[in-house]
Amino acid sequence: MFVPKSSPPPVYKGLTASMKSPVACQAIFSHIEDFAASVPGASMVATPLAPAPFSAEMTLLTLKELVLMVGRSTPLMFTGGLNTGSARIVLPLEKTEALRLNGLVVRPGDIAISGPGAGHDGACSNDANWASLVLPPATLEALLKVPPHSPLCRAGAHAVLRANPETWADAAAMIAAAKQVAVEDPQVLTVAEAMRGLRADLLEALRELLATTQQSDTLTADAAVPRRRHIVRAVEDAFRADPERVRSTKDLCAATGVTPSRLRAAIRTSFGMEPEQYLQLRRLTMERSALCTANRHLAALKQMAAQGFGDVDGLVQGHHDGFGDAPLPIAAPETE
């Protein structure tokens, strides 16, 4: 029998106060599933894009209805969606190369805005540093001051905006200062006046930032691949519903009713890779998660390996190629 590894919980540091008080905490993750489950205001399925080990850090600061998240991670791709009661602003921070988000390219100096219930998919092909603010839709609308008929007012809307460099730098500095307070002196946030002041400063920095923005040229990306988001969602749904049916892109096209050319264009635009690589990485991550969390007999392992890798050796080699290590130590089967 193989021995599954347990998934240790993330390491939390800082203040955990009552529900009526601000909450500041820092988490360090070595398991991508733990990281994905900890993102506030959203659901997420994440897949590593680099050899093991996966690594991520996240600092959360809650200021009444606002949740500021500042973090970094090794390369990954992701799919998911915002809760219907949450909107989000994302800033890639300095020393981060361009990342893909909903088919658009987002660089330091840009801000990405998502309305309530918006889907999200994308990839960071390099180590990434980012800040994300989850807030009520009404608060976002007040910050944006957009016309009533603007596309950004629609549920599920998403856009990438280019900001004035100086105001972008000021907002990034304000976010860095807020993170520093949360990590180094969270007890300050037990003082109501300090919490109100920090929240007001953060909102003002965002208000000035958004007042200087203009639409990015990358807004044409979705138009180049009609129904891109629908295709990506259908791909993930089909793969998770029955992995045995989608061993190849041909199977995936049959399961989703999408032509090979449209499938390839959607996956390339969303994740910067070919559909074959996407399927391989998703399968590896799902198998790895199953191996890490369930006790299975070697016969079940062989069956699982045969579905996508031919045999157990193929499964182990696939994990080595994809993640830089074997999934788990595998010993001889026990006698029934």
Flag whether 267 is in a domain.
yes
In whole angstroms, give the CA distance from residue 284 to residue 303.
15
Q: Are residues 218 and 229 in the same domain?
A: no
Give the pLDDT score at 17.
36
Q: Are residues 61 and 186 in the same domain?
A: yes
Flag whether 78 is in a domain.
yes
Flag whether 67 is in a domain.
yes
Number of separate domains in the chain: 2
* Amino acid identity for residue 219 in this structure: L
Q: Are residues 257 and 195 in the same domain?
A: no
Q: Are residues 202 and 240 in the same domain?
A: no
Burial of 244 (0-12, 13-18, 19+ CB in 10 A): exposed
Q: Are residues 304 and 175 in the same domain?
A: no
**Tens place of pLDDT per residue across the chain (336 aa):** 222 333 344 444 443 333 334 478 889 998 898 999 998 889 999 999 988 789 999 999 988 889 999 999 999 999 999 998 899 999 998 777 888 999 988 988 999 999 889 999 999 999 999 999 999 988 888 888 766 656 666 677 888 888 899 999 999 999 998 888 888 888 887 888 888 899 999 999 999 988 888 765 444 455 567 889 899 999 999 888 887 788 889 999 999 999 999 999 999 999 999 999 999 898 888 877 777 665 444 555 556 556 555 555 665 566 556 555 544 433 333 333
Give the pLDDT score at 35.
92
The pair of structure tokens assigned to 111 is 């801000």
Q: Are residues 171 and 247 in the same domain?
A: no
With DSSP H G I counted as helix, E B as strand and the rest as coil, what are the percentages for the chain, rounded to 5? 45, 25, 30
Residue 232 belongs to what domain range? 225-323
Choose one of 222, 241, 263: the last residue of a domain: 222
Q: Are residues 184 and 312 in the same domain?
A: no
> What CATH number does residue 26 fall under?
2.60.120.10
Q: Are residues 231 and 279 in the same domain?
A: yes
Flag whether 274 is in a domain.
yes
Choose one of 164, 187, 222: the last residue of a domain: 222
Q: Are residues 198 and 55 in the same domain?
A: yes
Flag whether 258 is in a domain.
yes
Choose one of 189, 222, 255: the last residue of a domain: 222
Q: Are residues 265 and 278 in the same domain?
A: yes
> What CATH number does residue 313 fall under?
1.10.10
Q: Are residues 165 and 279 in the same domain?
A: no
Q: Are residues 163 and 232 in the same domain?
A: no
DSSP code for 247 = S
- Other Cβ atoms less than 10 A from the Cβ of 182: the count is 26
